[in-house]
Amino acid sequence: MAEQPPNHLTTPYVILFIFFISSTAISTKPACNKMDQDSLWSSFELSSRLNWSSNDCCHWEGITCDMAGRVTHLSLPSKGLKLKGGNIFPLSLIGNLTHLTHLNLSHNLLEGSLDQTGFFSSLSRLEIIDLSYNLLSGELPLPSSNIRMLNLSSNHFHGAIPSSFFQQAWNMTSFNVSNNTFSGAIPSSICLHSSPLIQLLDFSVNNFNGSISHGVGKCSKLQVFRAGHNNFSGILPNDIYNATKLEEISLPHNSIYGAISESIVNLTNLRILELNSNGLSGVLPRSIGKLSKLKLLLLQFNNLKGFLPSSLMNCTNLIELNLGYNSLEGNISVLNFSKLNQLTKVDLGTNYLTGVFPISLYSCKSLKAIRLSSNKLEGEIQPEILSLKSLSFLSLGYNRLTNITGAMKIVMQCKSLVFLAFPGSFVGEEMPENLSIADFDGFQNLRFLSLANCELTGQIPAYLSKLKKLELLYLGNNRITGSIPSWLGTLPRLYSIDLSSNLISGEFPKELCMLRMLVSDWTAAQVDSNDLELPIYGPGGPASVLQYKWSYFPLAISMRNNTISGKIPVEIGQLQLLHYLGLGNNNFSGNIPDQISNMKSLEQLDLSMNHFSGKIPSSFASLTFLNFFNVSHNNLEGSIPTSTQLQSFKASAFEGNPNLCGAPLPNECLPIKGNDAENVENDENDDQIPWLHISVVLGFIVGFWAVCGSLVLKKNWRYSYFRFLDRAQERCMANRRRPRS
């Protein structure tokens, strides 16, 4: 039988029929349940960012309803929401949304407690809860069995996690309580008899303690385990290596000790291993290269020893390798880094590594940051480093490198270089001076340069005047001679200078008092504040906050321990943003400028061991931010200005000035008598404004112009005035001619 051609005439009718059916279905969809709508209206202080203008709550922003008009999804993140009724979570209102399955109120301003309201028991259908980044508090209530994802991170919850929590939440796949103040131990039965589906556990940044309990290995689906920044101790439980689905183990900043087991190679899906800032010891697993998916290996600040295993070079997906601040040893140059073509950051600083700078590292074309400082490396910087086009951070200080001139001529061509640190290397060489200054175009993005502690000779090189983006210059602890060049004050972004402990002479250049970054808030605000590729650690090591910010560096000028002479320029008061001024142990003389009191941001001032004379300016009492002050061993005299700030320092800050008196020194100021008292009084009067003289002069001027000014301006007044004088004169003459009786 022949196939019939399609009837195109019926197609429009079919479309119309479908449209009619769908529109009928839409029109018959129930409106929002009145109780749900009233609950929503009564729960929040509505903000202008919320669009709830419709009469049907099912059409409101962030609301989803089921076919019966019951609210099932409430998703209003980052709306600035506050709860009505003060600090009590409105159970009676939100609790009426009994069909709610998804709740996302993250990044708002919600306050109150969940544990006092029966929150979970009332909303028994809830599956997804995200209340992160609010102001909620209290203890963690027991959940319902339907909950699959719970995020309470970045609130103020406290107390212990109930031991039966995970037994009740047996459908849980994601649990995040990071950045709160929870305490106690992690429940040991997370996956033993409950929650077999858990994929993410995040306990980080709390006050948990004890050891990490056994049982984590029973979480067969666990992919992410985070518990960093707590007080955990003990060793890593062996069964953690049985959770073969793990992609991330992040336990930094605890007190975990012991060795990393060879069994870690079972975790073939591992991408992130972050165990830094603990007490781990032993050697790195020899077969660590079997973790072929590893991207981040962060084990810095531990007690790891031994050699770097050659298999580590098989982790070809590595992006960041940080093993700094350990006790690793061995010849680094025998390792073949060339297969790590995705590597962007490598930090092996502060170990006992030997050999020369590994040539194979130059094959890692994605490298942005290298830190190999504080090892025992030798040799020179090779031109192959120029193949690292993205290199912005290079720290090779405190090694046995040689040929600083050759090194600077090479690295000055690294166009992306922002941070360059060679302190403690190239010891005893001469400061590189001739770097083709005539056509110098290197270091055009350099913001940080440290050649400190190298015992370099010579003078401050002139090519530095070309570094228009330089912000921090550290040349302290060398043997630099000559004077401080005036062009330092012309560098538009310079705000931190360390020239201390050299042989510098001459005077303090006035131009240095015009550094834009220390004079103008507006100029300082224009500087790019991009983060550093690797952190700078404070003096406390791992206990210090890791600093990736340029703002970590102080706004400072340090010239201590030189032979600089002359007076401090009075223009120094222009540096109103300066935090530290160190001029101690020089040959400065003259009075301490009163203008220093204009430096309202000054926190540390060292003028000790110079030849300053005269008095400590009384205006120093206004330097309210000072936390360090030293004017000892000068020729100062008179009384120490009385202010809470100056009297808070120890007497040692003022000692060595025989004619200085007053607290905190033990010698009190004697009362001044006779001519000296008159001189002091005259001096004080000289310092005071002569208001009496000023008022007399002003009175004369006003009176004179009140009379004479009117005569000048008014012609008829002038004629009348002179006629009056003529008549008065005639009367006087007539009285003289009259005979005496």
Residue 506 and residue 529 in contact, taking contact as beta carbons nearer than 8 Å? no
- Model confidence at 684, pLDDT cuts 50, 70, 90, reads very low
- Average pLDDT across the chain, whole number: 85
pLDDT of residue 166: 86
Q: What secondary structure letter does DSSP report for 283?
A: B
Q: Is the pLDDT of residue 473 over 90?
A: yes
pLDDT of residue 23: 44
Q: Which residues sit opposite 345 in a β-bridge?
A: 320, 369
Q: What is the mean pLDDT of the segment spanning 122-127?
A: 87
How far apart CA 500 and CA 739 sit, in angstroms, is 96
Q: CA–CA distance from 249 to each of 1, 135, 299, 371, 522 (Å)?
A: 70, 28, 12, 24, 44
pLDDT of residue 677: 47
Q: Which two tokens stand for residue 606?
A: 């060292």
Q: Is the pLDDT of residue 306 over 90?
A: yes
Residue 586 and residue 504 in contact, taking contact as beta carbons nearer than 8 Å? no
Q: Which two tokens stand for residue 312?
A: 């580590």
Question: Which has more confidence, 397 or 6?
Answer: 397
Q: Is the pLDDT of residue 135 over 90?
A: yes
pLDDT of residue 610: 98
- The residue type of 162 is P
Q: What is the pTM of this model?
A: 0.84
How far apart CA 223 and CA 573 sit, in angstroms, is 58
pLDDT of residue 672: 62
Find all residues with CB under 8 Å of 176, minimum gap 6, and list them.
132, 150, 151, 152, 153, 200, 202
Q: Is the pLDDT of residue 715 over 60?
A: no
193-197, 286-290, 505-509, range with the lowest pLDDT: 193-197
pLDDT digits (tens, 9 = 90+) for 340-375: 999 999 999 999 999 999 999 999 999 999 999 999
How far apart CA 425 and CA 447 sit, in angstroms, is 20
pLDDT of residue 16: 45
Q: What is the mean pLDDT of the segment spanning 553-578?
A: 96
Q: What is the mean pLDDT of the segment spanning 174-184?
A: 96
pLDDT digits (tens, 9 = 90+) for 233-257: 999 988 899 999 999 999 999 999 9
pLDDT of residue 694: 56
Q: Phi, psi at residue 532, to the nearest 5°?
A: -75, 150
What DSSP string describes 508-556? Answer: --GGGGG-HHHH-HHHHHTS--PPPSS-B--TTGGGSPPB--GGGS--E
Q: Is the pLDDT of residue 316 over 70?
A: yes
- The residue type of 629 is F
Q: Is the pLDDT of residue 17 over 50?
A: no
Q: Phi, psi at residue 607, to the nearest 5°?
A: -120, 20
pLDDT of residue 525: 65
- Specify the residue for token string 């591992």: 270
Find all residues with CB under 8 Å of 73, minimum gap 6, and list them.
62, 63, 64, 100, 101, 102
pLDDT of residue 703: 52
Find all residues with CB under 8 Å of 728, minimum gap 6, and list them.
none
Q: Phi, psi at residue 611, to the nearest 5°?
A: -125, 35
3-state secondary structure 240-272: HHHCCCCCEEECCCCEEEECCCHHHHHCCCCCE
Q: What is the mean pLDDT of the segment spanning 181-186?
A: 94
Q: Which residues sit opposite 529 in a β-bridge?
A: none
pLDDT of residue 490: 95
Residue 231 and residue 204 in contact, taking contact as beta carbons nearer than 8 Å? no
β-strand pairing of 71-75 with 63-65: antiparallel
Task: Give yes or no for a cis peptide into 485 (omega within 30° of 0).
Answer: no
Residue 526 and residue 519 in contact, taking contact as beta carbons nearer than 8 Å? no
Q: Phi, psi at residue 581, to the nearest 5°?
A: -130, 110
Q: Give all domains of the chain, ordered by start, each with its CATH number.
A: 34-138 (3.80.10.10)
Q: What secondary structure letter does DSSP report for 67?
A: T
Nearest CA to 269 out of 251, 246, 240 is that of: 246
- Model confidence at 626, pLDDT cuts 50, 70, 90, reads very high
What DSSP string describes 631-689? Answer: --SSEEEEEPPP-HHHHTS-GGGTTT-TEEESTTSSSPPPPP-HHHHHHHHHHHHHHS-
Q: Is the pLDDT of residue 14 over 60?
A: no
67-76, 171-180, 187-196, range with the lowest pLDDT: 187-196
Q: Is the pLDDT of residue 437 over 60?
A: no
Q: Is the pLDDT of residue 68 over 60?
A: yes
- Model confidence at 20, pLDDT cuts 50, 70, 90, reads very low
Residue 388 and residue 358 in contact, taking contact as beta carbons nearer than 8 Å? no
Q: What is the mean pLDDT of the segment spanning 25-53?
A: 77
How far apart CA 645 and CA 661 sit, in angstroms, is 16
3 state DSSP class of 423: coil
3 state DSSP class of 723: helix
How far apart CA 330 and CA 374 sit, in angstroms, is 14
pLDDT of residue 674: 52
- Specify the residue for token string 């202008």: 48
Query: Which bin fits 570, alpha (ψ -120 to 50), beta or left (φ > 0)?
Result: alpha
Q: Is the pLDDT of residue 558 over 90?
A: yes
Q: What secondary structure letter does DSSP report for 322?
A: E
- Model confidence at 144, pLDDT cuts 50, 70, 90, reads confident
**Other beta carbons within 10 Å of 692:** 8
How far apart CA 274 and CA 250 sit, in angstroms, is 5
Q: What secondary structure letter does DSSP report for 284?
A: -
Q: Each residue of 584-605: b (16+ CB within 10 Å) or e? A: bbbebeeebbebbbbbeebbbb
pLDDT of residue 363: 94
Query: Which bin fits 625, alpha (ψ -120 to 50), beta or left (φ > 0)?
Result: alpha
323-332, 425-434, 517-526, 578-587, range with the lowest pLDDT: 517-526
Q: What is the mean pLDDT of the segment spanning 43-50?
A: 76
pLDDT of residue 117: 57
Q: Which two tokens stand for residue 154?
A: 């970045």
pLDDT digits (tens, 9 = 90+) for 492-545: 999 999 999 999 999 999 999 999 999 987 766 666 677 889 988 766 555 555
Question: Which has more confidence, 263 or 526?
Answer: 263
Query: Over pLDDT 70: what percentage of the chain?
Result: 81
pLDDT of residue 116: 59
